[in-house]
Amino acid sequence: MTPLNRPIRPGLLSAALLTVALLASACGQETPEQGASAAVIDNDRCMDNQRAGTITFVTGYHYQASVSQLEVIAAEAMGLFETLCLDVEIQPGSGDVMGNAQLVSAGTAHFTPAGNEAEIVQANERDHEVVGIATYGHVPISTLLTQQNVEHLTDLEGQTLGHQSMLPAPVEAMLVEAGVDVDTIEQVEAGYDPSVLPRDQIQALTGFRSNEPHQLDAMDEKYTEWLPEDFGVVGSFGVMATNPEWAEEHPTVVEDFLRAVARAFDHCSENGEECVGYAAELDEAGYDTEHNLKVWDTERELVGGSTPDDQVNGYIDLTMTAEEAETLKDSGELDSVPDLEPLFDPRFLEAVHVATEVVWPGDE
Protein backbone atom coordinates (compact mmCIF):
# COMPACT_ATOMS: atom_id res chain seq x y z
CA MET A 1 0.00 0.00 0.00
CA THR A 2 1.44 3.36 -1.01
CA PRO A 3 1.76 5.84 1.89
CA LEU A 4 -0.70 8.68 1.54
CA ASN A 5 0.53 12.24 1.48
CA ARG A 6 -0.96 13.22 4.81
CA PRO A 7 -0.49 16.64 6.44
CA ILE A 8 1.10 16.59 9.87
CA ARG A 9 -1.25 17.95 12.50
CA PRO A 10 0.09 17.78 16.06
CA GLY A 11 -2.60 16.18 18.21
CA LEU A 12 -2.72 18.59 21.12
CA LEU A 13 -2.69 21.68 18.92
CA SER A 14 -5.42 20.23 16.75
CA ALA A 15 -7.47 19.33 19.80
CA ALA A 16 -7.03 22.77 21.29
CA LEU A 17 -8.16 24.45 18.08
CA LEU A 18 -11.05 22.02 17.83
CA THR A 19 -12.15 22.89 21.35
CA VAL A 20 -12.53 26.50 20.27
CA ALA A 21 -14.42 25.45 17.14
CA LEU A 22 -16.77 23.19 19.05
CA LEU A 23 -17.52 25.69 21.73
CA ALA A 24 -17.76 28.68 19.42
CA SER A 25 -21.29 29.98 19.22
CA ALA A 26 -23.51 29.18 16.29
CA CYS A 27 -26.15 31.59 14.96
CA GLY A 28 -25.09 34.43 17.24
CA GLN A 29 -24.97 32.52 20.52
CA GLU A 30 -22.54 33.64 23.21
CA THR A 31 -18.98 32.31 23.23
CA PRO A 32 -17.56 30.43 26.25
CA GLU A 33 -15.67 33.57 27.18
CA GLN A 34 -19.04 35.28 27.55
CA GLY A 35 -20.18 32.68 30.04
CA ALA A 36 -22.16 30.25 27.88
CA SER A 37 -21.28 27.00 26.11
CA ALA A 38 -22.70 25.93 22.78
CA ALA A 39 -25.08 22.98 22.66
CA VAL A 40 -24.25 22.10 19.05
CA ILE A 41 -21.23 22.22 16.75
CA ASP A 42 -20.85 25.25 14.53
CA ASN A 43 -22.73 25.43 11.23
CA ASP A 44 -19.75 24.94 8.93
CA ARG A 45 -18.64 21.75 10.62
CA CYS A 46 -22.22 20.50 10.75
CA MET A 47 -22.58 21.04 7.02
CA ASP A 48 -19.29 19.27 6.34
CA ASN A 49 -20.53 16.26 8.28
CA GLN A 50 -23.90 16.25 6.55
CA ARG A 51 -22.29 16.38 3.10
CA ALA A 52 -20.83 12.93 3.76
CA GLY A 53 -24.37 11.53 3.58
CA THR A 54 -25.28 8.26 5.27
CA ILE A 55 -22.31 6.72 7.10
CA THR A 56 -22.45 2.93 7.23
CA PHE A 57 -20.98 1.04 10.16
CA VAL A 58 -20.77 -2.73 9.74
CA THR A 59 -20.47 -4.59 13.04
CA GLY A 60 -17.93 -7.33 13.50
CA TYR A 61 -20.39 -9.96 14.66
CA HIS A 62 -24.13 -9.28 14.74
CA TYR A 63 -24.97 -7.07 17.76
CA GLN A 64 -22.62 -8.64 20.28
CA ALA A 65 -21.65 -6.25 23.07
CA SER A 66 -17.98 -6.11 22.13
CA VAL A 67 -15.69 -3.12 22.49
CA SER A 68 -15.63 -1.00 19.28
CA GLN A 69 -19.14 -2.26 18.57
CA LEU A 70 -21.40 -1.65 21.56
CA GLU A 71 -20.26 1.97 21.85
CA VAL A 72 -21.35 2.64 18.28
CA ILE A 73 -24.75 1.07 18.93
CA ALA A 74 -25.11 3.13 22.12
CA ALA A 75 -23.95 6.35 20.45
CA GLU A 76 -26.68 5.97 17.83
CA ALA A 77 -29.36 5.10 20.40
CA MET A 78 -28.38 8.03 22.65
CA GLY A 79 -28.46 10.54 19.80
CA LEU A 80 -24.76 11.34 20.06
CA PHE A 81 -24.16 11.03 16.32
CA GLU A 82 -27.14 13.27 15.63
CA THR A 83 -25.71 15.89 17.97
CA LEU A 84 -22.62 15.96 15.76
CA CYS A 85 -24.65 16.09 12.52
CA LEU A 86 -23.75 12.52 11.54
CA ASP A 87 -26.24 10.20 9.88
CA VAL A 88 -25.02 6.73 10.91
CA GLU A 89 -26.58 3.48 9.75
CA ILE A 90 -25.62 0.28 11.60
CA GLN A 91 -25.56 -2.99 9.69
CA PRO A 92 -24.87 -6.36 11.36
CA GLY A 93 -21.79 -8.29 10.28
CA SER A 94 -21.44 -12.06 10.23
CA GLY A 95 -17.97 -12.36 11.74
CA ASP A 96 -16.19 -12.18 8.36
CA VAL A 97 -13.49 -9.62 9.21
CA MET A 98 -11.87 -9.68 5.78
CA GLY A 99 -15.25 -9.40 4.10
CA ASN A 100 -16.01 -6.30 6.17
CA ALA A 101 -12.60 -4.85 5.32
CA GLN A 102 -13.36 -5.40 1.65
CA LEU A 103 -16.64 -3.47 2.02
CA VAL A 104 -14.83 -0.53 3.64
CA SER A 105 -12.04 -0.62 1.07
CA ALA A 106 -14.62 -0.52 -1.74
CA GLY A 107 -16.50 2.37 -0.12
CA THR A 108 -19.67 0.31 0.38
CA ALA A 109 -19.25 0.79 4.14
CA HIS A 110 -17.29 3.42 6.02
CA PHE A 111 -16.35 2.00 9.44
CA THR A 112 -15.95 -1.51 10.81
CA PRO A 113 -14.15 -3.15 13.73
CA ALA A 114 -11.12 -5.34 13.11
CA GLY A 115 -10.44 -8.07 15.61
CA ASN A 116 -6.86 -6.89 16.09
CA GLU A 117 -4.14 -4.82 14.47
CA ALA A 118 -2.72 -7.87 12.73
CA GLU A 119 -5.95 -8.07 10.74
CA ILE A 120 -5.43 -4.51 9.49
CA VAL A 121 -2.05 -5.65 8.15
CA GLN A 122 -3.55 -8.82 6.67
CA ALA A 123 -6.36 -6.87 4.99
CA ASN A 124 -3.92 -4.55 3.27
CA GLU A 125 -1.77 -7.49 2.20
CA ARG A 126 -4.92 -8.74 0.43
CA ASP A 127 -5.33 -5.34 -1.26
CA HIS A 128 -8.21 -4.26 0.99
CA GLU A 129 -7.10 -0.70 1.69
CA VAL A 130 -8.18 0.12 5.25
CA VAL A 131 -6.53 2.14 7.98
CA GLY A 132 -6.71 1.59 11.73
CA ILE A 133 -7.78 4.78 13.51
CA ALA A 134 -8.12 3.50 17.09
CA THR A 135 -6.97 0.44 19.02
CA TYR A 136 -8.88 -0.02 22.27
CA GLY A 137 -7.39 -3.22 23.69
CA HIS A 138 -3.63 -3.77 23.97
CA VAL A 139 -3.62 -7.41 25.02
CA PRO A 140 -4.61 -10.46 22.97
CA ILE A 141 -8.34 -11.16 23.09
CA SER A 142 -7.70 -14.69 21.82
CA THR A 143 -7.49 -17.46 24.38
CA LEU A 144 -6.94 -21.21 24.40
CA LEU A 145 -9.17 -23.46 26.48
CA THR A 146 -8.16 -27.03 27.29
CA GLN A 147 -9.41 -29.88 29.37
CA GLN A 148 -8.09 -29.84 32.92
CA ASN A 149 -5.81 -32.85 32.41
CA VAL A 150 -3.62 -30.72 30.12
CA GLU A 151 -0.85 -29.63 32.48
CA HIS A 152 1.57 -28.35 29.84
CA LEU A 153 0.78 -27.10 26.37
CA THR A 154 3.11 -29.74 24.96
CA ASP A 155 0.50 -32.26 26.15
CA LEU A 156 -1.56 -31.14 23.14
CA GLU A 157 0.84 -32.75 20.68
CA GLY A 158 -1.03 -35.52 18.91
CA GLN A 159 -4.37 -34.13 20.14
CA THR A 160 -7.19 -32.25 18.39
CA LEU A 161 -7.57 -28.48 18.58
CA GLY A 162 -10.75 -26.73 17.46
CA HIS A 163 -11.02 -23.20 16.11
CA GLN A 164 -13.66 -21.07 14.37
CA SER A 165 -11.93 -20.55 11.02
CA MET A 166 -8.18 -20.39 11.60
CA LEU A 167 -5.69 -20.65 14.43
CA PRO A 168 -5.36 -17.11 15.88
CA ALA A 169 -1.84 -15.73 15.52
CA PRO A 170 -1.43 -14.99 19.28
CA VAL A 171 -2.45 -18.56 20.16
CA GLU A 172 -0.06 -20.03 17.62
CA ALA A 173 2.73 -17.79 18.92
CA MET A 174 1.95 -18.96 22.47
CA LEU A 175 2.14 -22.62 21.44
CA VAL A 176 5.48 -22.04 19.71
CA GLU A 177 6.80 -20.12 22.71
CA ALA A 178 5.79 -23.05 24.93
CA GLY A 179 7.82 -25.43 22.79
CA VAL A 180 4.86 -27.14 21.11
CA ASP A 181 5.34 -28.80 17.73
CA VAL A 182 2.21 -27.26 16.18
CA ASP A 183 2.39 -29.56 13.15
CA THR A 184 1.60 -32.54 15.39
CA ILE A 185 -1.73 -31.04 16.47
CA GLU A 186 -4.78 -31.88 14.40
CA GLN A 187 -6.71 -28.67 13.74
CA VAL A 188 -10.44 -28.71 12.94
CA GLU A 189 -13.21 -26.15 12.56
CA ALA A 190 -15.28 -26.53 15.72
CA GLY A 191 -18.03 -23.96 15.18
CA TYR A 192 -19.34 -21.73 17.94
CA ASP A 193 -20.54 -24.25 20.52
CA PRO A 194 -17.84 -24.54 23.23
CA SER A 195 -19.49 -27.63 24.72
CA VAL A 196 -17.47 -29.70 22.23
CA LEU A 197 -14.56 -29.31 24.66
CA PRO A 198 -16.10 -30.89 27.79
CA ARG A 199 -17.73 -33.54 25.57
CA ASP A 200 -14.16 -34.58 24.60
CA GLN A 201 -14.79 -34.12 20.89
CA ILE A 202 -11.67 -31.96 20.96
CA GLN A 203 -8.97 -31.48 23.58
CA ALA A 204 -8.39 -27.75 23.04
CA LEU A 205 -10.49 -24.87 21.77
CA THR A 206 -9.56 -21.36 20.69
CA GLY A 207 -11.93 -18.55 21.53
CA PHE A 208 -12.29 -15.05 22.86
CA ARG A 209 -11.61 -14.53 26.54
CA SER A 210 -14.77 -12.43 26.80
CA ASN A 211 -16.99 -15.11 25.28
CA GLU A 212 -16.33 -18.87 25.45
CA PRO A 213 -15.10 -18.92 29.08
CA HIS A 214 -18.35 -17.27 30.19
CA GLN A 215 -20.36 -19.77 28.15
CA LEU A 216 -18.59 -22.74 29.74
CA ASP A 217 -18.98 -21.20 33.20
CA ALA A 218 -22.72 -20.89 32.58
CA MET A 219 -22.73 -24.62 31.74
CA ASP A 220 -20.83 -25.30 34.99
CA GLU A 221 -18.10 -27.00 32.97
CA LYS A 222 -14.46 -27.20 34.07
CA TYR A 223 -11.54 -26.20 31.86
CA THR A 224 -8.11 -24.57 31.91
CA GLU A 225 -7.56 -21.22 30.21
CA TRP A 226 -4.20 -20.32 28.66
CA LEU A 227 -3.49 -16.63 27.95
CA PRO A 228 -0.94 -15.62 25.29
CA GLU A 229 0.38 -12.67 27.29
CA ASP A 230 1.47 -15.08 30.05
CA PHE A 231 3.94 -16.41 27.49
CA GLY A 232 5.17 -12.96 26.45
CA VAL A 233 2.94 -12.72 23.36
CA VAL A 234 1.63 -9.25 22.51
CA GLY A 235 -1.70 -8.57 20.85
CA SER A 236 -4.64 -6.22 20.52
CA PHE A 237 -8.39 -6.11 19.98
CA GLY A 238 -11.18 -3.66 19.26
CA VAL A 239 -9.52 -1.87 16.33
CA MET A 240 -11.65 0.66 14.44
CA ALA A 241 -11.01 0.75 10.70
CA THR A 242 -11.99 3.07 7.89
CA ASN A 243 -11.10 3.80 4.27
CA PRO A 244 -7.96 6.00 4.15
CA GLU A 245 -8.97 8.00 1.06
CA TRP A 246 -12.49 8.56 2.36
CA ALA A 247 -11.06 9.66 5.72
CA GLU A 248 -8.91 12.27 4.01
CA GLU A 249 -11.98 13.57 2.16
CA HIS A 250 -14.10 13.69 5.35
CA PRO A 251 -11.76 14.31 8.31
CA THR A 252 -14.41 15.97 10.49
CA VAL A 253 -16.69 12.96 10.01
CA VAL A 254 -13.97 10.56 11.16
CA GLU A 255 -13.10 12.76 14.11
CA ASP A 256 -16.68 13.24 15.22
CA PHE A 257 -17.50 9.55 14.75
CA LEU A 258 -14.66 8.74 17.16
CA ARG A 259 -15.80 11.58 19.43
CA ALA A 260 -19.26 10.07 19.77
CA VAL A 261 -17.81 6.59 20.28
CA ALA A 262 -15.52 7.88 23.04
CA ARG A 263 -18.42 9.63 24.73
CA ALA A 264 -20.49 6.46 24.54
CA PHE A 265 -17.64 4.32 25.90
CA ASP A 266 -17.45 6.50 28.99
CA HIS A 267 -21.22 6.28 29.45
CA CYS A 268 -21.39 2.53 28.88
CA SER A 269 -18.53 1.92 31.30
CA GLU A 270 -20.86 3.11 34.04
CA ASN A 271 -24.14 1.99 32.48
CA GLY A 272 -23.39 -1.35 30.86
CA GLU A 273 -26.84 -2.82 31.30
CA GLU A 274 -28.46 0.17 29.60
CA CYS A 275 -26.10 -0.03 26.62
CA VAL A 276 -26.50 -3.78 26.22
CA GLY A 277 -30.23 -3.09 26.16
CA TYR A 278 -29.74 -0.89 23.09
CA ALA A 279 -28.06 -3.82 21.32
CA ALA A 280 -30.85 -6.18 22.36
CA GLU A 281 -33.40 -3.85 20.76
CA LEU A 282 -31.62 -4.19 17.39
CA ASP A 283 -31.44 -7.98 17.48
CA GLU A 284 -34.45 -9.67 15.96
CA ALA A 285 -33.55 -13.09 17.36
CA GLY A 286 -33.24 -14.08 21.00
CA TYR A 287 -30.58 -11.90 22.62
CA ASP A 288 -28.75 -13.12 25.71
CA THR A 289 -28.44 -9.86 27.63
CA GLU A 290 -26.82 -11.50 30.65
CA HIS A 291 -24.06 -13.06 28.58
CA ASN A 292 -23.52 -9.93 26.50
CA LEU A 293 -23.16 -7.83 29.62
CA LYS A 294 -20.35 -10.19 30.65
CA VAL A 295 -18.77 -9.75 27.22
CA TRP A 296 -18.87 -5.97 27.59
CA ASP A 297 -17.63 -5.90 31.18
CA THR A 298 -14.74 -8.24 30.39
CA GLU A 299 -13.60 -6.28 27.36
CA ARG A 300 -13.94 -2.80 28.85
CA GLU A 301 -11.91 -3.97 31.85
CA LEU A 302 -9.24 -5.27 29.48
CA VAL A 303 -9.23 -1.88 27.75
CA GLY A 304 -8.79 -0.08 31.05
CA GLY A 305 -6.12 -2.47 32.26
CA SER A 306 -4.08 -2.20 29.07
CA THR A 307 -4.35 1.58 28.58
CA PRO A 308 -1.75 3.69 30.45
CA ASP A 309 -3.13 6.53 32.57
CA ASP A 310 -1.53 9.13 30.31
CA GLN A 311 -3.11 7.72 27.13
CA VAL A 312 -6.64 7.95 25.74
CA ASN A 313 -8.78 4.90 25.11
CA GLY A 314 -7.97 3.80 21.57
CA TYR A 315 -4.38 5.06 21.45
CA ILE A 316 -2.10 3.48 18.87
CA ASP A 317 1.38 2.22 19.78
CA LEU A 318 3.23 1.23 16.59
CA THR A 319 6.00 -0.44 18.59
CA MET A 320 3.48 -2.94 19.93
CA THR A 321 1.89 -3.15 16.48
CA ALA A 322 5.25 -4.14 15.00
CA GLU A 323 5.63 -6.89 17.60
CA GLU A 324 2.17 -8.18 16.78
CA ALA A 325 2.94 -8.15 13.06
CA GLU A 326 6.05 -10.21 13.76
CA THR A 327 3.79 -13.05 14.92
CA LEU A 328 2.33 -13.12 11.40
CA LYS A 329 5.81 -13.29 9.93
CA ASP A 330 6.83 -16.04 12.34
CA SER A 331 3.75 -18.08 11.41
CA GLY A 332 4.49 -17.71 7.71
CA GLU A 333 1.45 -15.54 6.95
CA LEU A 334 3.73 -12.63 6.02
CA ASP A 335 7.04 -12.78 4.17
CA SER A 336 8.10 -9.60 5.91
CA VAL A 337 6.58 -6.89 8.10
CA PRO A 338 5.44 -3.98 5.90
CA ASP A 339 5.74 -0.30 6.69
CA LEU A 340 3.09 0.07 9.39
CA GLU A 341 2.87 3.85 9.58
CA PRO A 342 0.52 4.25 6.57
CA LEU A 343 -1.76 1.52 7.96
CA PHE A 344 -2.53 3.24 11.28
CA ASP A 345 -3.44 6.90 11.74
CA PRO A 346 -3.87 8.30 15.28
CA ARG A 347 -4.56 11.89 14.18
CA PHE A 348 -8.33 11.63 14.21
CA LEU A 349 -8.48 10.25 17.73
CA GLU A 350 -5.95 12.77 19.01
CA ALA A 351 -8.02 15.61 17.55
CA VAL A 352 -11.04 14.86 19.74
CA HIS A 353 -9.20 14.85 23.06
CA VAL A 354 -7.48 17.40 25.24
CA ALA A 355 -5.03 15.46 27.37
CA THR A 356 -7.07 12.32 28.08
CA GLU A 357 -10.51 13.94 28.06
CA VAL A 358 -12.85 13.82 25.08
CA VAL A 359 -14.00 17.28 23.96
CA TRP A 360 -17.78 17.43 23.73
CA PRO A 361 -20.05 20.32 22.69
CA GLY A 362 -21.56 21.95 25.73
CA ASP A 363 -18.98 20.67 28.20
CA GLU A 364 -17.13 23.33 30.15
Query: pLDDT in tens for each of the 364 residues of the chain?
Result: 433 333 333 333 344 444 444 444 333 333 333 222 233 489 999 999 999 999 999 999 999 999 999 999 999 999 999 999 999 999 999 989 999 999 999 999 999 999 899 999 999 999 999 999 999 999 999 999 999 999 999 999 999 999 988 888 899 999 999 999 999 999 999 988 999 999 999 999 999 999 999 999 999 999 999 999 999 999 999 999 999 999 999 999 999 999 999 999 999 999 999 999 999 999 978 899 999 999 999 999 999 999 999 999 999 999 999 999 998 888 788 889 999 999 999 999 999 999 999 999 988 6
Residue 342 lies in a domain: yes
Residue 219 lies in a domain: yes
CA-wise closest residue to 292 among 62, 94, 136, 35: 62
Residue 19 lies in a domain: yes
Residue 75 lies in a domain: yes
Same domain? 186 vs 165: yes
Same domain? 50 vs 29: yes
What per-residue confidence (pLDDT) applies to 15? 41
Separation between Cα atoms, residue 145 and residue 139, nearest integer Å: 17
| Residue where one domain finishes, among candidates 211, 231, 251 | 231
Total domain count, the chain: 2
Residue 364 lies in a domain: no
Same domain? 131 vs 148: no
Residues 6+ apart with CB under 8 A from 344: 117, 120, 131, 132, 133, 135, 316, 318, 321
DSSP 180: -
What per-residue confidence (pLDDT) applies to 364? 66
Same domain? 195 vs 293: no
Residue 311 CB neighbour total at 10 angstroms? 14
CA 353, 354, 358, 363 dihedral sign is negative
Same domain? 75 vs 173: no
Same domain? 219 vs 249: no
Residues 6+ apart with CB under 8 A from 310: 356
pTM for this prediction:
0.86
DSSP 8: P
Separation between Cα atoms, residue 8 and residue 347, nearest integer Å: 9
| Residue where one domain finishes, among candidates 212, 231, 250 | 231
Domain of 93, in residue numbers: 11-139+235-358
Same domain? 135 vs 264: yes
Q: Pick left, alpha or beta for residue 102 (phi over 0 → left; psi -120 to 50 → alpha; otherwise beta).
A: alpha
Separation between Cα atoms, residue 284 and residue 157, nearest integer Å: 42
Same domain? 240 vs 93: yes
| Residue where one domain finishes, among candidates 231, 254, 286 | 231
